[in-house]
Chain A
């Protein structure tokens, strides 16, 4: 489960990570894209942090939707619509909830990934965000099904996300600007999959702090 305080904590920690890893994400993008992923993500989450105080006391869905709208209107590129849509869809799935059960958390992740797939018209294996996101969500589902706690599930999710990031080094990009490189994209780590893995790292850190 997740409380509103934990959702807020997740957003703050993720925003910190986007600032902290700005250069790393930009460097990864310079190798196979247009070299601005870290710049754009950190700009977007800086704007999120400015908007957050105004909605802290509102419901979880309001908070997530505000994050989504802010990302859509500040990030630009492909990441803005993709991450923005993910937060918007996750928000819409948590309507009128003050606290999220494990099922609610899974539903929110499913809605988020569905939103990204709709907007980006991509599937797993195309060297995108989805290559770390889908395995991470699958790991959560499998762990919860085995009766593990959300904290245990998120440990597995983060592991799966980073494995997904490693996997992106082995495949050809067929979506986004990296696709222009064709086979030359092999060997490079996908910046979008990496920024998404940090989201699961952030979620894992929140869960370990809460100890559940």
Chain B
């Protein structure tokens, strides 16, 4: 394992220190906790708290700021943060109008955030939560824990954050977040696995000529392993599954996110994006806005995901509303 680290036990902590030193105008750290909150004082609005394991940067601390999150809780790498940490975040940002927790659909995340919500409610704080589950690679059935929350979560942060910033009630913020969740779909692919520092070796193995389709953001094995193909063929495969699930009609409008997994050059992400645009144009689906970059990474995984968000007038306005965070800006 070759990484810029000092001590595997201290990676998360030193990263948080580095983030705060780099961006004091955006975030500060809750003393004694792995929680980043907005640098400016909390305002009289519904507060948004998200988080999860570390290793997905800029998620989630990079989305703390005006128009998005009020706090992000950072767990150990790929491990949900603990209830006490989430509880501190809730207490720190609650401004009397309630707190919405944005949770990605993983067993651990749900348990830890639920326990934190129980603690907060016991102290009289109004808490609601939404669970993101945009990954079409995983079947949503009674027999699984449901689809995983992946890169589409960033759209939930953006859009729910915008309506909260505008002064909406907790119920309204939750409703909009759920609308995004209902309309966002993602699928990913990996070319090379990622290495969790404490594990010291890759989470799975792929030979030089293989790719893992349907990969999760924690390096969990995907749904299918195949010989590597050209970028266009890979996009066709991913888009076929996304479109089948989403079923957009000609004339529908979508936002597109081409997300890099951490070790994918922008060059390749743009090549993927090119094909996504071609496919949507063929279907008559209008692209309202495109995002290309590292939004929800998996440490040093080489891979990418494609996210489509079906938009209506309300979602378009909220998507374009002003946001100013480390990892996501909208002028």
Q: A-side interface residues toward B, CB under 8 Å? A: 26, 30, 32-36, 39-40, 43, 72-82, 119-120, 172, 174-177, 179-182, 184
Contact call B203/A34, Cβ cutoff below 8 A: yes
Q: What 0/1 readout, one digit per residue, does chain B (79-90) give for beta carbons within 8 Å of chain A?
A: 111111100000
B115 near A: Cβ within 8 Å? yes
Q: Is the interface of B mostly helix, strand, loop or mixed?
A: loop
Q: Is the interface of A mostly helix, strand, loop or mixed?
A: helix
Contact call B220/A34, Cβ cutoff below 8 A: yes
* Chain B residues numbered 66-85 whose CB sits less than 8 Å from any CB in chain A: 75-85
A residues less than 8 Å from B80 (CB atoms): 76-78, 80
Contact call B143/A174, Cβ cutoff below 8 A: yes
Contact call A40/B76, Cβ cutoff below 8 A: yes
Contact call B107/A76, Cβ cutoff below 8 A: no
Q: Which of A30, A39, A180 contacts B204 (CB 8 A)?
A: A30
| Interchain nearest-CB distance for B191 vs A (Å) | 19
Q: How far is the CA of A77 from the CA of B80 in the complex (A)?
A: 5
| Interchain nearest-CB distance for A69 vs B (Å) | 9
Contact call A179/B203, Cβ cutoff below 8 A: no
B residues less than 8 Å from A174 (CB atoms): 143-145
| Interchain nearest-CB distance for A86 vs B (Å) | 13
B residues less than 8 Å from A176 (CB atoms): 107, 145
Contact call A36/B198, Cβ cutoff below 8 A: yes
Q: How far is the CA of A174 from the CA of B146 in the complex (A)?
A: 9
Known A-B contacts A174-B144, A180-B216; the reply to A76 vs B111 at CB < 8 A is no
Most buried by B among A30, A75, A176, A181: A30
| Interchain nearest-CB distance for A22 vs B (Å) | 10
Q: B-side interface residues toward A, CB under 8 Å? A: 53, 75-85, 106-108, 111-112, 115, 137-139, 143-145, 148, 196, 198-199, 203-204, 216, 218-221
Q: Which of B83, B145, B148, B203 contacts A35 (CB 8 A)?
A: B203
Q: How far is the CA of A100 from the CA of B218 in the complex (A)?
A: 43
Contact call B82/A75, Cβ cutoff below 8 A: yes
Q: How far is the CA of A32 from the CA of B203 in the complex (A)?
A: 10
Contact call A81/B138, Cβ cutoff below 8 A: no
Q: Can you identify 8 A-B contacts, CB atoms within 8 angstroms? A: A30-B199, A35-B219, A74-B82, A77-B79, A80-B108, A80-B111, A177-B220, A180-B220
B residues less than 8 Å from A81 (CB atoms): 83, 108, 111-112, 115
Q: How far is the CA of A120 from the CA of B112 in the complex (A)?
A: 11
The 7 A-B pairs with the shortest beta carbon distances in the complex, nearest first, are: A78-B108, A77-B108, A81-B111, A76-B79, A34-B218, A179-B144, A78-B107
Q: How far is the CA of A43 from the CA of B12 in the complex (A)?
A: 14
| Interchain nearest-CB distance for A37 vs B (Å) | 10
Q: How far is the CA of A113 from the CA of B139 in the complex (A)?
A: 29
| Interchain nearest-CB distance for A66 vs B (Å) | 14
Chain A, Cβ-Cβ closest to B115: A81
Q: How far is the CA of A76 from the CA of B116 in the complex (A)?
A: 12
Q: How far is the CA of A119 from the CA of B112 in the complex (A)?
A: 10
A residues less than 8 Å from B111 (CB atoms): 78, 80-82, 119-120
Q: Which of B82, B145, B220 contacts A76 (CB 8 A)?
A: B82
Q: How far is the CA of A65 from the CA of B12 in the complex (A)?
A: 28
B residues less than 8 Å from A119 (CB atoms): 111, 115
| Interchain nearest-CB distance for A14 vs B (Å) | 20
Contact call B82/A72, Cβ cutoff below 8 A: yes
